[in-house]
Structures are given as C-alpha cells and as structure tokens.
Amino acid sequence: MKGIILFGHGARNPEYIEPFRRIQAVVAAKLPGVPVEIGFLELTQPPLETSIECLARRGVTHVKVVPIFFAPGRHVLKDLPQLLGNAIDLHPGIEFEVAECVGVVDGVIEAMAAHAVAGT
Amino acid sequence: MKGIILFGHGARNPEYIEPFRRIQAVVAAKLPGVPVEIGFLELTQPPLETSIECLARRGVTHVKVVPIFFAPGRHVLKDLPQLLGNAIDLHPGIEFEVAECVGVVDGVIEAMAAHAVAGT
C-alpha cells in the first residue's frame, strides 16, 4: 500500500499550513484510497517523523515524500535524507522514495510565472 | 515603466537560484520590455535591495514584488515589508506592489498536487 507525504519547511505563523492542506486535499481527491499526510522539518506541526508514523500504522509499505521546496538546498539535500535514514531504521518494512522538489517541475514553474505575469 | 522582482528566501547551495532563473525566463518571454529581476532575503545573491536598485537605474517607476514562498510566514509578513519600507525611503519615485505568495495561488496548488500525484 502506497502513501504520500508533502514535506514542508514549517514556520511560526499558524496559517502557514493552509496551502499545504489545499495541496493535500487536491492530491487526496485525485488518489482515493491513498493516504496523504503533511510533515514539516520544524516549527509547524506535525513533524515529518509523525507523518511517517501515521502512515506506518495504516499499513503503508511505500512512502513517496514530495519536498514542497522551491529548490534543493540544505533542507532537501541533507536534512531530509537524515530524517529518512532514521525512519528506515524505525520502519524497516517501509520503502521510501523522494520525488523532485516541486519548484523544479515544469508545470509548477509555468504556474508561478503565470502568477507573476497576471495583471501586469 | 513597470518592473517585476521575484523575491525568494535564499540558500547556501549555489544551484538554489536555478529554478528562480527559469521562472524569470518564462516571465520575461511573456512580458517583453518589462524588466524582471530576482532578489533574495539572505544567502543567495543578489539581495532584494540590489534588484530594486537595478530596476531604479533602468527608470522603473512601479515594482511588483512576487514572493516565491509557499505560504505567508515571517519572511513575507515582516521581513519583506521592512525591506520595502527602506526601499521607499531610498527610492521615493518608485511605487511598490506586493503580489500574493505563489504558494496560495490556485494554479500553483494544482501544479504541485499534479506533481505529487504523478507516477503514483
């Protein structure tokens, strides 16, 4: 059974989670039956570890982590592999896959550019 | 004359700027004659102040700042207004406008969700 985690940075503002919830809702609607969790590196709840734990309890055996980052920096290249290294030890029955950062994907680049252009 | 600045966080990894350059190229292609700059809060060059200075030297009188952030947190709600407050003092002839964060825009949410779904 597959599961998806949207992995974000986190922030102090409690409303920061809202756009992540919107992505989660769209993904869940497109993939009925596939659990979709949100997990953060810091500041915003829940942490990535908790999201993985939730999927493990639901019997997920393959987790795709989607970094909701604009570009691969330290958080994606160093912090995420470290967190997943710990997760592999804790959940040996789960296979982890890391998708590309959303920010390097053509369709996302196009959509961001369209927003920048809108009204100009 | 209008100008656009794509405002990002910045990171230590020098390749971090690449997706921003791709957005810049798409926007520039859609709006010939409108100067499009990239400016960062920290770590990545150039800082926002420098991008504003570049536009000012080109005679831009209206700058639209597009926050390349997923959600409004401290950087967008506090740091950006502070930077723009200083910019208004330095460049009284320029009118500044701040667009919505890319991450709260429907089309961007849809594109990120499509990426999360792809291959699942």
CB contact under 8 A, B13 and A102: no
Looking at residue B29, its pLDDT comes to: 98
Q: Which residues of A are catalytic?
A: 9
* Other beta carbons within 10 Å of A74: 13
pLDDT at B94: 98
By C-alpha distance, the chain B residue nearest A34 is B120
Residues 41-70 in A contacting B (C-alpha not used; CB under 8 Å): 64, 66, 68, 70
pLDDT of residue A77: 92
Which of B23, B24, B95 to probe by mutation at the A interface, max A CB count within 10 Å? B23
User: Quick check: A83 pLDDT over 90?
Assistant: yes
- Average pLDDT of chain B? 96
Report the alpha-carbon distance of residue B36 to residue B55 in Å, rounded. Answer: 8
Give the CA distances from residue B47 to residues B5, B11, B56, B61, B93, in Å, rounded to whole numbers and listed in that order.
11, 12, 15, 19, 20
Q: How far apart are CA A97 and CA A50, in angstroms?
A: 17
Q: What is the pLDDT of residues A31-76, one digit of tens each?
A: 999 999 999 999 999 999 999 999 999 999 999 999 999 998 899 9
Beta strands in chain B (DSSP E): 2-8, 36-40, 62-67, 95-98
Task: Determine the average pLDDT of the residues in B3-27.
Answer: 96
Q: What is the ipTM of this complex?
A: 0.97
Cβ-Cβ contacts under 8 Å, B115 against chain A:
66, 99-100, 102, 105, 107-108
For A78, nearest residue in chain B (alpha carbons)? B13
Predicted pLDDT at A67: 98
Q: How confident is the model at residue B96 (pLDDT cuts 50, 70, 90)?
A: very high
DSSP code for B59: T
Sheet containing A95-98: order of strands: A36-40, A2-8, A62-67, A95-98
Chain A interface includes B18 (CB < 8 A): yes
Nearest residue on chain B to A100, alpha-carbon basis: B115
Model confidence at B72, pLDDT cuts 50, 70, 90, reads: confident
Query: Which domains, and CATH codes, for chain B?
Result: 2-117 (3.40.50.1400)
Distance from CA of B89 to the nearest CA of A (A): 24
Q: Which amino acid is at A99?
A: A
Model pLDDT, residue A82: 98
Q: In the structure, what pLDDT confidence band is assigned to residue B23 with cuts at 50, 70 and 90?
A: very high
Chain A residues closer than 8 Å to B112 by CB:
23, 68, 102, 105, 108
Does the pLDDT at position B73 exceed 90? no
| pLDDT tier at A93, thresholds 50, 70, 90 | very high
pLDDT of amino acid B120: 84
